[in-house]
Amino acid sequence: MPETAVAEPVTQNQETIPDSKTKAFAEAVDSGAAGAGGSLDILLDMTIPVTVTIGSTQIPIRRLLQLGPGSVVKLDKSVDAPLDLYLKDTKFATGNVVVVDGRFAVKIKQILGLGELKPDEKK
């Protein structure tokens, strides 16, 4: 089972430069492109869970039952490999682990478009 963590946005003195995808979405919101006179404002205030996967592995149930404190489970990714960020079951970004105020955080490295995902990652 993959190790996962819930990421929270970090707002500590960060200057963000929106990319073209973010700008296009912001322009659509500003222009009221919600269709039939609707508004996207309600969506902008919603929160959604983000899952960060550091790796995964498959182990036999016999081995799983032998795990205890101090056991080590080897994952399929190297230490230098980027983490995968998911919205629901869809991978949307990659990032690296950082520490902010003594807590783990994820620094987004790349936002993925559907064309950049492998066929098994599109759901």
Does the predicted model carry a pTM greater than 0.75? no
Distance between CA 67 and CA 83 in Å, rounded? Answer: 24
Domain extent for 94? 3-8+39-121
Domain assignment of residue 31, yes or no: no
Domain assignment of residue 27, yes or no: no
> What tens digit of pLDDT does each residue of 78-88 get?
989 999 999 98
Kindly report the average pLDDT of the chain as a whole number: 77
pLDDT of residue 87: 92
Q: Which two tokens stand for residue 28?
A: 């659509």
Domain assignment of residue 23, yes or no: no
Q: How would DSSP label each residue in 84-115? A: EEEETTEEEEEEEEEEETTEEEEEEEEEPPGG
> What tens digit of pLDDT does each residue of 20-42 get?
555 555 565 555 554 554 578 88
Whichever domain contains 71, its CATH number is 2.30.330.10
Q: What number of other Cβ atoms are within 10 A of residue 85's Cβ?
A: 22
Domain assignment of residue 15, yes or no: no
Domain assignment of residue 20, yes or no: no
